[in-house]
Structure 1
Amino acid sequence: MSSAPTLPVTPTLPESRGQGFGAALVLGAAVAWSFGGTLARFLHIEDGWTVVFWRSLFAALFLLGFMLLRDGPRGTVQLFRGMGLAGIAVGICFATASTSFILALAYTTVANVMLIQAGVPLIAALMAWMLFRETVATHTWIAIAAVIGGVAIMVSESLGGGTSMIGDALALLIAFAFATATIITRRFAHVRMTPAVFLGTVIAGATAASQASGFAITTSELGILVVFGALNFGLGLALFVTGARLIPSALAALLGTSETVLAPFWVALIHGEIPSTYTVVGGIIVLTALICYLGVELWRQRRA
């Protein structure tokens, strides 16, 4: 009698080493995502839904290819069977966040969206504490406050104009969806969430396909969209859900905010768009808060 199929076993790392590896993966995800604005500058597609469709399509193909290469066809099927309701929830969260981002920009400014999204670490920490009594250290709260303050300074010049309650509500929905996905990934650390984020890209792509005015793109735009979807979006998602399983929810969300600091740097370096003084000052505050926080965590681990 044959035994029931089992899911691929995830190697177990020591606590300190596992957290360091997880933090590195989440930071890698933030670096990948930070190129989004730079890549978008190369595109001249008027309909945002068209961009979402192609980006989601190439992200889904990348994630599917990644799973097939790593786990094989049978292993990939087992991953989908094993993700359960938690994986479906994570997929819906990421689909909601990516779709709401496009809708929010139709009602409010990028600055407002960035500022509200800076609250993701705070939301994740509060939700993890209230729902699961996950301890949040004092220095974590300080780092969260510093990050929110730094992002506020970064976008202060652009706040106010062209905003609406609908746009800000959608931006808040993005923050809650991302925080919820982070917490679920952490609480179900035994579940690989790569198929979940694949599901999220499929949902986002299907939603965009139903709203797009057309799908025609040029050959040069196709190449950019492949990178935009596969590396910027797909690779970023894969790194994030893999690393977020290994570290506290608040830390994962905090490291994710480094995307906000890096994005203006890449745009300035590649497109020559020099950021304002407020952007530089706010970015330095955010980066300093993250470095200090990681330094304290490293010191605590070595002391333990």
Structure 2
Amino acid sequence: MTDITAPTPRAWLGIALVAGSALAWSYGGAIQRFIGVEDGWTIVFWRCQFAGLFLLAFMLLRDRFDGTIRLFRSMGWPGFFIAVGFALVSTFFVLAVTMTPVANVVLFLASIPLFAALLARIVLKEPISPVTWGAIFAVILGVGIMVSSSIGDGGSILGLALAAAIPAIFACMTVVTRSYPGIRMTPAACGGSFIASAIAASQAGTFAVSGHDLALLFCFGALNLGLGMALYVTGARMIPSALAALIGTAEMILAPVWMVILHNEIPSGRTIIGGALVMAALFTYLINHARQGPRHPDAAAA
């Protein structure tokens, strides 16, 4: 008798694509550490320029010219809001990594689902289960431990503030996508990349970089940010959103590992303890959410 609960080939493909996106996103901080450009705004300009061009080429290949134009036209103001949010988080990630350990930045990213749940409770009046409340408090405790470690070691308060702003912005984006579930993420990410690049162009001291750094910036933009987004939006349409979120946690686990292997950037003891609390809270929340089933329609992934 056939097991009807077994994943289909399409589901396995979706799992592989989402896992690939987590892998692609995980080495962003490690690539940035190899780049010899001192001006963070110059890095943002080139990274987001390459990411925007990659995503534009991806849409043109997938949807052709007319389809790509329709995707941008259908974004509306909610899609523009998501694009601006994507521009901010892309910028803040680069600037934060220049000021604070990558592990701290990535572990702040791990708290995004819980920030989103808390904001959805405030704005959309969505109920929060006791498990989610417990996870939120655990994240607050874990982040507090991480922050105390960084400040104690002379870490940048501005870098930590930029890292902390990323999940807050993502939470706002999540509330918008739940209110307008027809938002398409690929054109929003593409537009956001070009917005971030334009902002960085007005702040960068120079656009001149060496050929070696330009190659790294291409990888940082196209193969880290752009390819990761393309893999995710393709794979997330094939599997449940809760499963995609669980697989996506591999990014938070792999990113500090890359830093240890490639740059010998070993997290402090308090960062490891705080990060363990954050990851445990995230896994608890996502597993509980998967068991309950989604209450709200997801935004259009593509």
Task: Measure the CA separation in 2 of the matches of 1:23 and 1:238.
Answer: 14
Task: Measure the CA separation in 2 of the matches of 1:26 and 1:128.
Answer: 25
Question: Are the aligned partners of 1:118 and 1:148 in contact in 2 as well (CA < 8 Å)?
Answer: no
Specify the code of the residue in structure 1 equivalent to 2:67: G
How far did 1:143 drift? Answer: 2.7
Of 192, 204, 227, 1:200 maps to: 192
Of 266, 275, 300, 1:274 maps to: 266
Question: Are the aligned partners of 2:144 and 2:274 in contact in 1 as well (CA < 8 Å)?
Answer: yes
- Give the match for residue 42 of structure 1: 34
How far did 1:203 drift? Answer: 0.7
CA RMSD of aligned residues (A): 3.9
How far did 1:112 drift? Answer: 7.5
Higher mean Cα deviation, 47-56 or 121-130? 121-130
Specify the code of the residue in structure 2 equivalent to 1:72: R
- Give the match for residue 6 of structure 1: none
SS in 1 for 2:265: coil
* CA shift digits 1:73-100 (9 cap, x unpaired): 1111110111111110100111123334
Specify the code of the residue in structure 1 equivalent to 2:150: S
Of 252, 257, 263, 2:255 maps to: 263
In structure 2, list runs of 5 or more residues that go unmatched: 1-7, 294-302
- Give the match for residue 215 of structure 2: 223
How far did 1:201 drift? Answer: 0.5
Question: Are the aligned partners of 2:91 and 2:196 in contact in 1 as well (CA < 8 Å)?
Answer: yes
- Give the match for residue 48 of structure 2: 56
Task: Measure the CA separation in 2 of the matches of 1:298 and 1:79.
Answer: 30
Question: Are the aligned partners of 2:40 and 2:95 in contact in 1 as well (CA < 8 Å)?
Answer: no
Higher mean Cα deviation, 19-28 or 134-143? 19-28
How far did 1:279 drift? Answer: 3.4
Specify the code of the residue in structure 1 equivalent to 2:127: T
What is the TM-score of this pair, normalised by structure 1?
0.74
Question: Are the aligned partners of 1:119 and 1:148 in contact in 2 as well (CA < 8 Å)?
Answer: no
Task: Measure the CA separation in 2 of the matches of 1:24 and 1:182.
Answer: 24
* CA shift digits 1:29-53 (9 cap, x unpaired): 5543321211112111111111111
SS in 1 for 2:84: helix
* CA shift digits 1:72-130 (9 cap, x unpaired): 11111110111111110100111123334556678x74588667666544432122122
- Give the match for residue 82 of structure 2: 90
In structure 1, list runs of 5 or more residues that go unmatched: 1-16
Is 1:132 the equivalent of 2:114?
no
Specify the code of the residue in structure 2 equivalent to 1:192: R
- Give the match for residue 171 of structure 2: 179
- Give the match for residue 71 of structure 1: 63
Do the aligned partners of residues 191 and 144 (structure 1) sit closer, same or farther apart at CA in structure 2, a change above 3 Å counting? same
Question: Are the aligned partners of 1:185 and 1:193 in contact in 2 as well (CA < 8 Å)?
Answer: no
Do the aligned partners of residues 189 and 236 (structure 1) sit closer, same or farther apart at CA in structure 2, a change above 3 Å counting? farther
Do the aligned partners of residues 258 and 185 (structure 1) sit closer, same or farther apart at CA in structure 2, a change above 3 Å counting? farther
What is the TM-score of this pair, normalised by structure 2?
0.75
Do the aligned partners of residues 23 and 182 (structure 1) sit closer, same or farther apart at CA in structure 2, a change above 3 Å counting? farther
- Give the match for residue 189 of structure 1: 181
Task: Measure the CA separation in 1 of the matches of 2:219 and 2:232.
Answer: 18
Q: Percent identity?
A: 51
